[in-house]
Structure 1
Amino acid sequence: MNAKDWTGFDTDKWNFLDQIPEELFSEAQEESLVQSGFDFAYAARLFFLVSPSPVALHAPVLNADGTIRDIELLRANPAWYRYRPTPPPENGSLGTDTRFKFDELVPHLQACWDTPRGVHTQRLNIAEALSDPESPYRYPDSMFSADYQLVTHWIRIPTDQSEPDIILEFCNDLDRAALENYAQQDRRLEQLLMQRQKWLGDASHELRGPLNAAAMSLNVTTRRNDLPEGVLATLKIAERSLLQMSDLVRDMFDTAKLENDAFELSINPNVPVHEIVDEIVDEFASSSGVLSLRSVPDQTIEASLDRDRIRQVLRNLVSNAVKYRQADKQATVAILLRRADDTHFEIVVDDTPNGLGMTKTDLEALESSEPFWRAATAIAAASGTGLGVQLSRKLVERSGGELRYESNFGVGTIATVRLPYSLQT
């Protein structure tokens, strides 16, 4: 393409558009400049606005011998200063006063000015750029690969013969590179999540058989009447521990099925919901660490639901209420079963005033649905995996309801399970 075909200038100078690497300047952008019919300087300014990642447009200030002594900044891209504490320089300012690392920039501009084709390129390993605390190329949350190349181009642009040439500085698109890098990380993370799901499913499936066999054997043994009292007490402890392990394996298995969308509810019609509450109260009332466990159930409530899964949810909530209590205090847990409206009922588990409670930040993290998340205070108070909380939420949602939490740190938590009387499928 000849410069005079679209600029109107009769000049032998090179066309700067032909010098720009194709991957940095699309045909559509070039065509828009060709049709603009303006001079090189205007085209350069326009290119600055549409190019992938412009840095600056410079007007060199020359010594008598043709060397560059300063730079007038015609235009700056503020995006390149977003992670620096200082504001971008003003258009028209001189480089000696305002530009980042002026002494390092001038040799590149001089090389561009002196090169016959008017093009100078620098390739810099991104690790070197990111290691510089003052670098304008820093992305605080970026994870570029160590061999990623930061490529900067300086191009000398001819202008009208009455004006000095200008230099356009632009770089490969770090934003796009970061997005591509994040996309690659997302794909890798997705692969890891799929591997984790498969592992959860396979491991829990393999563990369920031996655990069920051991639980049945212990159950039969503890029913014997000829066991010494000390042996029976020990076997009971082993049985409770085995049941806890079975619950964990069941949570793992259910989590894997839910994440793979392979989970199905077994709906039982007309279930007296108070019976589920009564079963949980009987299970935990005599637990060590429990000062009081009382229930206020509306015995008239019946619903169509998966009895075992709702019991699993309620058991998890009460177990957490008993487990996560204030130091040197016993748990005080109240379970309320009530009608919410004509279509829904609620099960409320309240561990105030002796519960650990959660901070606002903890509640926000809890709502993030991260499967293994646990509050720092909970980690310090008792062992656990964090699977049960999110699994309970998913089971309630799969049952057509919702699970809400209200909490005051150092006071306790109120968990509310809201469920429909009849699940609409």
Structure 2
Amino acid sequence: MSDIALPAARRAPPLPRFRMPRGLLWQALLLAAVLGLGWWFWGNVQANMAKRGLELGFGFLDRAAGIPIGEAVVEYTPASSYARALWVGFLNTLRVAVVGCVIATILGIALGVMRLSPNPLLRGLVGGYVEIVRNTPLVLQLVFWHAVILGLPPVRQALEVLPGVFLSQRGMKIPVLVASPAMWALLAALAAGALGWWLLLRRERARQAATGQRRPTILPGLAMLLGLPALSVLALGAPQVEWPELTGFNFQGGVTLSPEFVALLTGLVVYTAAFVAEIVRAGIQSVHRGQWEAAFALGLPRGRIMRLVILPQALRVIIPPMTSQFLNLTKNSSLAIVIGYPDLVSVANTAINQTGQAIEVISIFMAVYLAMSLLTSLAMNLYNRSVQIRER
């Protein structure tokens, strides 16, 4: 009987081995190191504060601050709480940041367009301004503008730079609308007109994208922007304007902007506008020359070419760095402490010196600046998404 080879018994396949990805392992180790460092820091803080008889907590915010603040948007007295004092400092910072971003944007766009002017004198002047301002420390510029404001004539010889706007050693006096139903109706009508113009622009852009045709929007938009306030004035009357008048040794009426606020706003606007001008110039030059030549070949005037052809394409390059400049202006406002403007950081430093609650106060204004930066980035990113050119 011949030997018959029997088939070898099949072996069971080996069980798969679990292997952690190397990148995930390093991230887990890094997270553990960060948590360990945070735990050590927290324990060290508690031990050092216990040695000095201090306790962590935000209960001090309800105590009377006793901080004199010379400029406040809302009602404030030294008997107010620390929470109220920090709120006043935040509103002062927010006022400078919002007004500064708006003025710096307008001025920077104008300077950026002039930077590309065919006139060599204008182009050279703007270029010199941009180079000097960008290469000079902002702190020195703030000190310079503060010295300029304090060197102005006294109140009785105040300079009238515009009708009803006076500059002196004590700052700037400007007219103000008197709060009344007519004023609120006028502001609401202006907002409604601006909203209607924006909706009209959106509709016509959608029509142009779908059919290639677009109706004029300037005259209907101006009709809404000016017609609705005119109807409000006809219905409720014109709001009263309180004009500043020199009586004796000081002005009566109007609103006073302190020398510190004027110097800080001027310094931030002049400094940021130089960067905005370069951003606008680079954005315009990023559009290919052929776009200009094609638009000229169609017979479009230079102004309409810039508005309808060049700027919509340049915005893709302009918006992202503009976001950074808005954030920089907001954070640079913390240098107000150099010239004595009571912003959030200045009030917070005084609160730290009086209470010793450094960690709590620093965490408050860090959270405030973080929230302002994130909200600014969110708004600019949404706007950037809306102006992106969508290919068909």
- Give the structure with the larger helix fraction: 2
Question: Which has the greater radius of gyration?
Answer: 1
- Give the structure with the larger strand fraction: 1
- After TM superposition, is the score higher than 0.5? no
Could you state the TM-score of these two structures normalised by the residue count of structure 1?
0.17
